[in-house]
Amino acid sequence: MHSQSALDPEVGRELYQLAQELYPICRSITGEGVRRTLKRIGDLVPLTVHEVRSGTQVLDWSVPLEWNIRDAWIATTGGRRVVDLRDSNLHVVSYSRPVRARLGRNELDAHLHSLPDRPDWIPYRTTYYADTWGFCVTERQRAALDDAEYDVCIDATLEPGSLTYGEVVLPGNESGEVLLSAHVCHPSLANDNLSGIVTLVGVIQHLVRKPRRYTYRILFAPGTIGALTWLATHEADVHKIVHGLVVSCLGDSGTFTYKQSRQEAAEIDRVVEHVLRHSAPGHRVRRFSPDGYDERQYCSPGFDMPVGRLTRTPNGEYPEYHTSADNLDLIRPDALAESVDIVVTVLEVLDENRTLVNQSPKGEPQLGRRGLYRTLGGLPDSPVLEQAIRWTLNLSDGRHSLLDIAERSALSFHVVRAAACLLTDHGLLAGQLGPVR
């Protein structure tokens, strides 16, 4: 059950190219890396950039100082750089305070992070809320540091500034909103970060061309503190969010994994599970847990929003996660295109899920007289459509939505909706169907 509007096969290639462009940028939870990333996204979709000043109280947190980095290296006392930010922006622990010093080898070692099991990979580490500094290196680089002393430099600033997030709002016919959210705070990491960003760009490019029932609000925000900042500054609007999805890790070749909202049987949960059941063999569904990405904030008990999370292989469950091996080789154009297609299909089902009422409920209406029975030979799936017509007539008693009918009949939502369209056209169902997309 893929989206009714077949996606351009070019979509995956374009989104992959966008990931390639964004990959080298040194993002963190604040600073120029996020601004540059949002500026590029804003070339492609109608994005508004918001800046929230350092020190602003956001729920139980406050917006941190702004971090920017120009250069960082470890060099021999003779001036030869042996670790260099210019080779990989993972080399410096994100949010390191500035440092310039000559250190003994052991003293330096206390500030190094490496992966003994993966001697060629650089780990990704952060120190957002602790005043320290460090370098991330490959195990081989670390082993090769056998001089007595080294010079280290982290040419960074931690100063009052702001936290930056981006928001796209696409108005719909109804005031209810659908929230889509991706984090934008990781540096050169492809699946964890960029795949979610570019998937949402692809989804927005699809949505802007279509009639919309709901209003769509798409957030590109630094993880945790960005979501907290948005929640703190939009507390009065949170009730408008009727469905939501956090996305990440959508570019690898793994099967889809859906993590339910805290509510567990919200419409978003049922719709994503329905779409995956019909379109994504081998998919997995998990119950909510208070870990992972920004679903932790949206599903905190004071908000308890109907927000689920869609990934392929989840965070922490692939070996390349949070290392330099989560690079552009790990993500694939076709996987990105399919991820866009799944999200778009979910949004179509949400948009089109209505409850209609059978106008001829006493006995079955005579379908043959109306051209709705055994006259559908031209349609390849006519037996399925006939089944869908019978189910839709029977369950459209004002208490079952089209999604209820699809689940009860084990038919796909799209065939049930096609049946509902036919029946509405023939006056056998009443109620409002969404715009045909």
Residue number with CB closer to Zn ion (206 or 322)? 322
Nearest residue (CB) to Zn ion, 32 versus 192: 192
CB of 7 to Zn ion, least distance (A): 27
Q: Give burial (CB, 10 Å; 0-12/13-18/19+) of 10.
A: exposed
| The residue type at 41 | I
Helix (H) or strand (E) holding 106: helix 105-109
Q: Which is nearer to Zn ion, 192 or 294 (CB)?
A: 192
With residue 10 as reference, give the H or E element that holds it.
helix 10-22
Which residues of the chain form contacts with Zn ion (CB under 5 A)? 192
**Choice between 134 and 223, CB closer to Zn ion:** 223
CA neighbours closer than 13 Å in the CB half-sphere of residue 273:
20
Based on CB atoms, which residue is closest to Zn ion, 322 or 417? 322
Half-sphere exposure of 199 (CA within 13 A, CB side): 36
- What number of other Cβ atoms are within 10 A of residue 244's Cβ? 24
* Tokens read off for 326: 């989560």
The position carrying tokens 């007539």 is 393
CB of 293 to Zn ion, least distance (A): 8
Tell me the closest approach of the beta carbon of residue 316 to Zn ion, in angstroms.
9
DSSP class per residue in 293-347: STHHHHTSTTT---EEEEESSPTTSSTTTTBTTSSTTT--HHHHHHHHHHHHHHH
Count CB neighbours of 102 within 10 A.
Answer: 12
What CA–CA distance (Å, rounded) separates 298 from 301? 9
Closest separation between CB of residue 186 and Zn ion, Å? 5
Q: Which residue is nearest to Zn ion (CB)?
A: 192
Alpha helices in 195-250 (DSSP H): 195-207, 225-233
Planar angle of CA 30, 94, 17, nearest 5 degrees:
75
Nearer CB in complex with Zn ion: 187/244: 187
As given in the structure block, the two tokens for residue 317 are 């469950």
**Min CB(48)–Zn ion separation in Å:** 25
Measured from the CB atom, the residue of 3 and 195 that comes closer to Zn ion is 195
Tokens of 116: 């003994």
Q: How far is the CB of 183 from Zn ion (least distance, A)?
A: 7
CB of 110 to Zn ion, least distance (A): 24
Q: What are the tokens at 39?
A: 């500026």
Please list, in sequence order, all residues whose beta carbon lies within 8 angstroms of the beta carbon of residue 205, skipping any fewer than 6 positions away: 11, 44, 45
CB 85, min distance to Zn ion, A? 20
The nearer residue to Zn ion, 121 or 413, going by C-beta atoms, is 121
Amino acid present at 21: E
Nearest distance from C-beta of residue 227 to Zn ion, angstroms: 14
Q: Which is nearer to Zn ion, 9 or 290 (CB)?
A: 290
Pairing of β 284-286 and β 257-259? parallel
Tell me the torsion sign for CA atoms 302, 306, 230, 312.
Answer: positive
Instruction: CB nearer to Zn ion: give 274 or 309.
Output: 309
CB of 322 to Zn ion, least distance (A): 6
